[in-house]
Structure 1
């Protein structure tokens, strides 16, 4: 999700034991159904880091568990992976599980607190807009003009780690974000959404969020890139728009390389 300006979150709620159990539960889905792999962790920096990634898979986006499973396998359960998430996820009995496994409300204060504590914070600047990008532009990095993550990295004094993922957007066919329909129905006021995606999948065929189609067993490959020290490269008064353009260009190049190595949709 995108980073908002205000709010607080119990970043100290992260529970390594609960997280390890949760990773054990989702591992068969990531490694079995999606045959996931994560590349580039050998150059991942120590301490706090802001992981900036494209977002894929629509309603059933598995970017976080795909990354977290390999991250914890590599570094152990000593440095938490936090994910900035929409407020709607914390409405119900699942809140304790989410907070215990590293999901925090998407506010700038929460992100900064987690980063200063040495955590790894995953942010998807494009949010749902990115996760529901049409299949025709599945391999395009598009944050919809959002650059707030740059300020967060500067405030917390941590590097940005670009990350790209391919395959998740092949779990069904994404026809349209349905922005026109969302505006007509007033979804911005109801659920803070500018889109009402129209997709085609299995087993229900055409869907507008509901009914929920099952994700195809598409192979997902994720790659973390070299960390970017914003102050070192762009200065203490870095223009977020300039930094964002650079981050997206680095990500787009890496995503293009993953796409060129992919032989077939879904199969990988």
Structure 2
């Protein structure tokens, strides 16, 4: 992705972010009945890279749920930055995004934010993960993307794996449509999927129009931080770290799936 200005981190507006989170939290709490577990083990200070799965298609609630729980625990003096696709910074919404702590997804931006003592939230699987089929809803799949490992190594910060369950039950995800996207040459527009979903109120949807997410209960688990140098040495192998992070996440997601009694209801 294209790198953005390093000053994006300085544009974070704690007061503005608090107002938005305070306004959205009650709605999200009633609709998704969300729970965030495991923050007791989160590093008390300093930079950390949260690596998470992404769920819910276009209308993903992940960031709001993480932010609400994070700021409740650590306050707004400790920024939570989220890496976002270039498309999120088009036109007048760009300023809104950076005030909320959303920064362009690039290694340089992420490292700068982490070295400043900020916490960075990244979804390596991106929309590929967010549109995973319902039949594979509890599978961690980053589509081979490992840049997050190099980011953590370069910044010298721990990786904190986190997983959520429930978001992929917000509608029926039928296919990512990777074969059709390839046939249509959508890679020209930096997209490798053309997903088909079914939901309410529009029924079948190919990205647009976006259906209203069902009121599915979402549970998030933040796992123990991984000290890369302590576990993998001074020069960690990217593939080894990636395999370990995904294994930790898959084990946590499997536990949440085993505890879940009913779809949507939780």
Q: TM-score, normalised by structure 2?
A: 0.97
Task: Map 1:94-243 onto structure 2 (within 5 A).
Answer: 94-190=93-189, 192-243=190-241
Compute the displacement of 1:193 (Å).
0.4
Instruction: Return the alpha-carbon distance in structure 1 between the equivalents of residues 56 and 177 of structure 2.
Output: 16
Task: Map 1:237-256 onto structure 2 (within 5 A).
Answer: 237-256=235-254
Q: Structure 2: any 5+ residue segments left out of the alignment?
A: none
Compute the displacement of 1:93 (Å).
1.3
Aligned length: 264
Which residue of structure 1 lines up, in the alignment, with residue 5 of structure 2? 8
Deviations 1:201-260 (A, max 9, x none): 111111101121110000000111000001110012111001000001011000000011
Instruction: Return the alpha-carbon distance in structure 2 between the equivalents of residues 95 and 250 of structure 1.
Output: 34
Which of 36, 39, 43 is the aligned partner of 2:37?
39
Q: Does the CA contact (< 8 Å) of 1:8 and 1:107 recur in 2?
A: no
SS at match of 1:59: coil
Instruction: Return the alpha-carbon distance in structure 2 between the equivalents of residues 173 and 13 of structure 1.
Output: 37
Q: TM-score, normalised by structure 1?
A: 0.96
Which residue of structure 1 lines up, in the alignment, with residue 80 of structure 2? 81
Instruction: Return the alpha-carbon distance in structure 1 between the equivalents of residues 5 and 132 of structure 2.
Output: 30
Instruction: Return the alpha-carbon distance in structure 2 between the equivalents of residues 5 and 246 of structure 1.
Output: 28
Q: Does the CA contact (< 8 Å) of 1:163 and 1:251 recur in 2?
A: yes
Q: Does the CA contact (< 8 Å) of 2:217 and 2:265 recur in 1?
A: yes
Which of 245, 261, 264 is the aligned partner of 1:263?
261
Q: Does the CA contact (< 8 Å) of 1:82 and 1:102 recur in 2?
A: yes
Q: Structure 1: any 5+ residue segments left out of the alignment?
A: none
Compute the displacement of 1:7 (Å).
4.2
Residue 16 to residue 112, structure 1, CA distance change in 2 (3 Å): same
Residue 5 to residue 204, structure 1, CA distance change in 2 (3 Å): closer
Q: Does the CA contact (< 8 Å) of 2:216 and 2:263 recur in 1?
A: yes
